[in-house]
Structure 1
């Protein structure tokens, strides 16, 4: 029987989602808690892999169990076993062919930039002293919706077969002292959101023109785009699936 786990975590303490040698990951931490709960090894598959320091308000992972469980009881047990930096929002049963990664139809990220030096939000936002031109940044963000190939924003050494992503939403808004960038697509490349934000910031600082974004994307060259902004301001906020996966 297949179950989806809806997770949230503070990425500051982890080297990303995916298990890797000699580094603590969210996946490893979750599998250790599951091993204690079930007294045997239980593997999980995530909707995607967030990089070191990136946070998640919602990441979906699936696991397979031999028999039906009490979802609320397992949620309580895992939240007791997991460290403070990881929480299970919910657990629910899905159809056997539902896959946390491949069945997902959309993913949403938010990036937070602080316009004031705030020690209480320092771990979860990127502080920029200079004033940013939000109007120019939103003009440029709209350009992203006209393209599919985003190799220019991808980490150079990556094992993907295609650099195509369908971005359906990209927008900046101001909320008090925070500038919040929301972007939604069917999939994302490694480092893609942080590279997009870094490029849009340069446009907001008038270091680049809005029209320069056309040239950058069409170049398919990572060195033409802006630098990647700090991971601490990035949150995976939503993973969407078709209703047909539910039982």
Structure 2
């Protein structure tokens, strides 16, 4: 029986989502170990991987259960008791053809930052940037909307056959002392969101011209490959 689970996790506790040979401190390894402790020998597949330090409030995974596991609420309860810095929010039976990654239609990321030093309780969950021009930031974000070849906006190692992606939304919002950037797309390349945020913020701070950003998006010339700090980034929602 295949199940779909929506999970949330504190990325500061892990070296990323993806399973790694060099460490067991990944989200995938933690969940698979919890499953094994319940006599469930199954690998998990996520909707996408997140970098070290990046969080999730709506990551989606799928895995297969033995036929005798019918009480999914009990499974959720048992897993949450065994997991640390990860929580299963929802779990449900799905069609055997469901795939957490390939069945996804849209992915939404949220980035949270301040222009003042975060408190000691915020440091792992909020990024910091110097003062910037909000209007310029939105203009920079608008440049990403649409279908583009993002060959200059990802780290090597992306598991994909194409670097073309379609950005549906890219917007900025401020609430009190907190600043938010939202990206919604059909998919993202490895570290693409962090690279887009950093380049947009460079424009907003006058360190990069909008014309230069546009040239990088069009694949004419690379002006920056820097990444936004991971602490403020959240994989917020996956739409199917």
Give the structure-2-normalised TM-score: 0.94
Partner of 1:165: 165
Partner of 1:77: 78
Give the structure-1-normalised TM-score: 0.91
1:131-170 matches, cutoff 5 A? 131-170=131-170
Contact 1:136 1:204 in 2 (8 A): yes
Partner of 2:102: 102
Task: Tell me the CA shift for residue 157 of structure 1.
Answer: 4.4
Contact 2:148 2:217 in 1 (8 A): no
SS in 2 for 1:224: coil
SS in 2 for 1:196: helix
In structure 2, what is the Cα distance between the partners aligned to 1:44 and 1:53?
Answer: 20
Q: How many residues align?
A: 237
1:207-226 matches, cutoff 5 A? 207-219=207-219, 223-225=222-224
The reply on whether 1:231 has 2:216 as its aligned counterpart is no
Contact 1:12 1:53 in 2 (8 A): yes
Contact 2:12 2:231 in 1 (8 A): yes
Contact 2:149 2:219 in 1 (8 A): no
Partner of 1:36: 37
Task: Tell me the CA shift for residue 160 of structure 1.
Answer: 2.5
How big is each residue's C-alpha offset from its partner over 1:129-150, in whole Å with a ceiling of 9 and x where there is no partner? x311111110111111134211
1:2-151 matches, cutoff 5 A? 2-23=2-23, 24-37=25-38, 39-67=39-67, 69-83=70-84, 85-119=85-119, 120-128=121-129, 130-151=130-151
Task: Tell me the CA shift for residue 52 of structure 1.
Answer: 1.0
Q: Structure 1 residues 102, 215: closer, same or farther in 2, change over 3 A?
A: same
Task: Tell me the CA shift for residue 158 of structure 1.
Answer: 3.5
Partner of 1:245: none
Contact 1:151 1:220 in 2 (8 A): no
Task: Tell me the CA shift for residue 226 of structure 1.
Answer: 5.0
List alignment gaps of at least 5 residues for structure 1: 242-247
In structure 1, what is the Cα distance between the partners aligned to 2:183 and 2:40?
Answer: 39
List alignment gaps of at least 5 residues for structure 2: none
Segments of 4+ moved more than 3 angstroms? 156-159
Contact 1:152 1:220 in 2 (8 A): no
Task: Tell me the CA shift for residue 159 of structure 1.
Answer: 4.2
In structure 2, what is the Cα distance between the partners aligned to 1:220 and 1:160?
Answer: 22
SS in 1 for 2:124: helix
